[in-house]
Structure 1
């Protein structure tokens, strides 16, 4: 294969690595493992409106499962408290439907990135440019390390020093995917009671840690090819 084309494909591999690693971290966080650990952390804030830890563990699985299953919004809309009142109000249900669409798109991008990486690996093996492919993996790993450290630093400063730092980042993140203030709710709303800001701080932090681990594994765990320069 022509050198210029293999260089382009090598950089394509590098660009796909952050998508693949962030997607992997997202999929892990969308399992019961994360919220089961998070709700049991000693620093996790109590709900001033009355949800106990057990209440959160009872209701959170429905919200998380809804994001990855094929059900419509009635999956959440039909949930009710013991007194018969709905668990979620209309504004919350609309938001969750929006979130599901975004999560579905993100997971599809993850699947595509993994599929393309596998396809390029096959082509690299057959086309005798595996060393460029491996360089692309290492380069992408380094990029992921940089991005993970940046996100981790924002979250860490937001937790330990100035909460406004994380809130500004959180607001910017939502402005990319949602219109206006559709993602803002009262503290008494179920979504905030189940998923307060500390939940999202830790979610971003763990996503950064997981992606950082994957990036480090690619950047430093792969042996450089002896047939090419070891620069990335």
Structure 2
């Protein structure tokens, strides 16, 4: 039965939720905590207290919306080559989210199966890593914008350098997070972490190229069908 005394959810209600002191406080704590000590914060979230961080899916959605806003604001207008690059990076971002489950499976079944964590707890860990990594992409977008508009640096060179830099920064952040999460700093742990990260990148690229090939085949079939109709 509907509670008539309960107010409707509208734009004002959502704005009040986003502007509430609790949300602002926990969001800021999550943002700072996942930069300063990501592995410790996520381990505490799983084992100790789940009120000190924004829930993982909510935080991922928040950072993704922020990233897409910056992407729309700082990458227009674009040249033809840059548009292709933007399409590539946007699709790769979505496949990165899918790779979370693949990497969690690798961690739970192969690389860290002796650790006291299950598949879903690794998913939570990787969601926080992916969410925080969006901020590295935002920094790159803003930097790329000012380099190409203010300093007139060629955009393809900036894009190439930026992709390499972001990948390296994300790898370093991932290594730091895993080391803190397991409270270990061994060569074996770093080797496993690098392997997981690289396999995740390969998985993303495989998904992207499968999508690209499938899209091209479907487009060709539609073109052939139109030719037959004519």
The two structures share one fold, judged by TM-score above 0.5: no
TM-score by length of 2: 0.35
Q: Which has the higher helix share?
A: 2
TM-score by length of 1: 0.34
Q: Which has the higher contact order (CA 8 A, sep 6+)?
A: 1
